[in-house]
Structure 1
Amino acid sequence: MKASPIFIATLLAVFASQTHAGAVIGHDQVASFAQPEPVTISEKAAVKFKPQLHISNGCHPYPAVNEAGDTGGGLSNTGAPSGKCKGSGLGSQVYGRSGWHGDAWAIMYAWYFPKDMASFDLGHRHDWEHAIIWIDNPDVAESRILGVSASSHSGYQKTTTIPTGSLNGTNVLLNYENTWPLDHELSFTTKGGDYQPLIMWGQLTDAARDSLSSTDFGSALMPMTDYWFSRKLDKAWPF
């Protein structure tokens, strides 16, 4: 009997849902990826322009997924805004993805936080924030930053002129903070922050990439999946 296209598509979807993902584990049980030695032009540019992240309040960034595809279950919006999420003993992480968008090279950096709380009972489980560094060309000796877009609630803070004091060499200084009663967002700062181990989208294991693409993070959105990456770049375009 010849199977219908709809039946085949359904079977494939079920198979994918059963094979893509690992387990959901504790937010502090997810081991980070080590930052690989950059080899390609795009990897070298991503390391060169990796932002510093300063945490003013709330959680510190955590790994969202491990090599096996297990994802962190996050934290409920209870207790203190930084309660149980002041840093993982298994390392931190920033995720990256890059590519041409229009006539600029876009490097997206994304951080995961187990919860997003303004104060007691305000907020939600899971948070993703991201920034896009727009440069002229990764394949030149002196690449220039053309603009920066930092996630701010459902939109972006966009600029083609980085504020004075918010650039340390080739590294933009970003701040993770909330203004009560709103949730957290990224903004420019003059305060030095930390670098997290960078793992690019193409450097992830298949299991990890599949889990990031299919896991339901509730009110938060992983911005660099195949579906969302170009859509986010469209919305973040600062020129």
Structure 2
Amino acid sequence: MRSFKNRQQLTHFSALQHQNEPPTCSAVIKTIDHDQVQTFSQPEPASNSEKTAVKFKPLLHISDGCHPANGDCNYPDVGGQVYSRSNWYKDKWAIVYARYFPKGAEFVLNHVKGHRHIWSHAIVWTDSPNPDASAILGVSLSIPTGYEKEVPPKAKYIEGEETVKLDSYVDYWVGNQSLSFTRKWGKTKREQLTDEARDSLGMFDFQPESSQVNVAMPLKNGVFLSNLRETYPKTEGLDT
């Protein structure tokens, strides 16, 4: 695998929405009950960047906590909700996969409780948006205390040199649902959003009043680039 350079510039996966550009149309936001959530059909990816987003989509295993589904924490009948956005950052093609959980687990003072809305995300760093000539350089995971970074990711966490295996669990040390790398085999499913649904996700305030967790949609304008800055793996010997 090629290194980074210091230059400027599962239960189920579903709703894999690839987005290079920010939303351009306004949206009237309407909410629905969690048991009314339905997946979107997935058109065939057309551009190289869309194909690359599908190529490197991670697998998700759920070992603890809620499932990214329709609000029922266990064994969903429909797929979960995962969206992606990608762009160049310091000459690396970064793909952010954001996973939405209608309910999140929270551990406070020896009691397990929950709250509405939680987002977790993984960033797959590659050398090119060309699906036929690209490789994984590193992976960054959102965790309650910041980010976990692997450059390059260990072979035991990668299936077929292009699929990262992730685990969702409740981190009882910090009290929140979190992501980690895993050897376990998860599941993946992809769908795609309408423009109206995508724009609503960027405009809606997901912050629950009853939780101390900072909940922000990772792909929205003002958050996406900040996530790339924070998660870029400045690893000694690679970022030169």
Change (3 A) 1:198 1:150: farther
Q: Which residue of 1 aligns with 2:87?
A: 99
Map 1:102-117 onto structure 2 (within 5 A): 102-117=90-105
1:128-151 residue CA offsets vs partner (Å, 9 max, x unmatched): 000000000122623111110011
TM-score, normalised with respect to structure 2: 0.76
Q: What percentage of residue pairs aligned between the two structures are identical?
A: 46
Gaps of at least 5 residues in structure 1 are 1-18, 64-73, 75-83
Post-superposition offset of 1:198: 4.5
Contact 1:96 1:198 in 2 (8 A): no
**1:153 correspondence with 2:141:** no
2:47 alignment partner, one of 40, 43, 49 = 40
Structure 1 residue 135 and structure 2 residue 126: aligned?
yes
Q: Say which structure is richer in helix.
A: 1
Q: 1:188 aligns with which of 155, 168, 181?
A: 181
CA–CA distance in 2 between the matches of 1:153 and 1:198? 27
Secondary structure, aligned partner of 1:44: helix
**CA shift for structure 1 position 216:** 1.1
Matched, 1:50 2:57: yes
Q: 1:91 deviation in Å?
A: 2.9
User: Which amino acid letter does the alignment assign opposite residue 187 of structure 1?
Assistant: S
Q: Which residue of 2 aligns with 1:212?
A: 201
> Over aligned residues, Cα RMSD in angstroms?
1.9
Does residue 26 of the first structure (1) align with residue 33 of the second (2)?
yes
Name the structure 2 match of 1:226. 221
Larger Rg: 1
- Assess, with a 3 A threshold, how the Cα gap between structure 1 residues 162 and 20 changes in structure 2: closer, same or farther: same
Q: 2:3 — aligned with what?
A: none
C-alpha distance after superposition, 1:79-109 (max 9, x if no partner): xxxxx32244343231111111111000110
Runs of 5+ consecutive residues of structure 2 not aligned to the other structure: 1-25, 208-213, 235-240
C-alpha deviation, 1:35, in angstroms: 2.4
Matched, 1:197 2:197: no
CA distance in 1, matches of 2:81, 2:191: 6
Deviation at 1:162, TM superposition (A): 1.0
Distance 2:112 2:168 in 1: 19
Count how many residue pairs are aligned between Structure 1 and Structure 2: 198
SS in 1 for 2:198: helix
SS in 2 for 1:28: helix
Between the aligned partners of 1:154 and 1:90, the Cα distance in structure 2 is 30
Partner of 2:69: 62
Question: Matches of 2:221 and 2:64 in 1, distance apart?
Answer: 31
Which deviations, in whole Å up to 9, do the C-alpha atoms of 1:183-213 show, x marking residues without a partner? 01111000000103143xxxx3232122111
Per the alignment, do residues 90 and 191 of structure 1 end up closer, same or farther by CA in structure 2, a change over 3 Å counting?
A: closer
TM-score, normalised on structure 1?
0.76
The answer for the alignment partner of 1:70 in structure 2 is none
Q: Would you say 1:166 and 2:157 are equivalent positions?
A: yes
